[in-house]
Amino acid sequence: MVDGGRIAQLQNEYLQSQQIAEQRRQHRRKGLIHRLMAFAILFMLVCSVMVGSLISQAGKYHRIEGQKQTLEKKVNASVAQAEQLKKRIKLLHNKQYIGEIARHDYLLSKKGEIIFSKPENGGN
């Protein structure tokens, strides 16, 4: 009977060691799952921050692109106006052109010239 008690005791020790090993595996598995969950949450948080930043930057890009187009139109208009002003300055250096402006706008005349003006309204 001593042998029978010893076998039961060995089996008990073996079962206890197996149970302890199983508990350790389960504890490690739970730890692994907790670490993976924490990593997944952290990953999702980082991804959401990056997506938010991307959306914000896209909005800024579109707003700045619109401003750029508006400013380019203003620059083109200014360049066209500058060209017209240069032409006008060039014409103002011409004495004949100045004479035409004086006769047309201020009704000045040359010697012996008669100027007839008609009313600008339809004849009230």
Instruction: Check whether 9 has a pLDDT greater than 80.
Output: no
Residue found under tokens 């504890």: 27
Residue 91 lies in a domain: yes
Residue 93 lies in a domain: yes
pLDDT tens-digit series, residues 41-52 = 999 999 999 999
DSSP 19-52: HHHHHHHHHHHHHHHHHHHHHHHHHHHHHHHHHH
Q: What is the pLDDT of residue 7?
A: 67
Cα dihedral sign for 75, 76, 79, 80? negative
Residue 124 lies in a domain: no
Residue 54 lies in a domain: yes
Q: What is the pLDDT of residue 107?
A: 73
Residue 32 lies in a domain: yes
pLDDT tens-digit series, residues 59-118 = 999 999 999 999 999 999 999 999 999 999 998 898 888 888 887 787 777 777 777 777
What would the two tokens of residue 13 be?
């020790």
Instruction: Check whether 2 has a pLDDT greater than 50.
Output: no
Residue 73 lies in a domain: yes
Please state the rounded mean pLDDT for residues 17-46: 95
Q: What is the pLDDT of residue 8?
A: 67
Residue 24 lies in a domain: yes
The tally of domains found in the chain comes to: 1
Residue 46 lies in a domain: yes
Within its chain, how far is the Cα of 62 from the centroid? 5
Q: In terms of residue numbers, what domain contains 51?
A: 2-106
Predicted TM-score (pTM) of this structure: 0.49
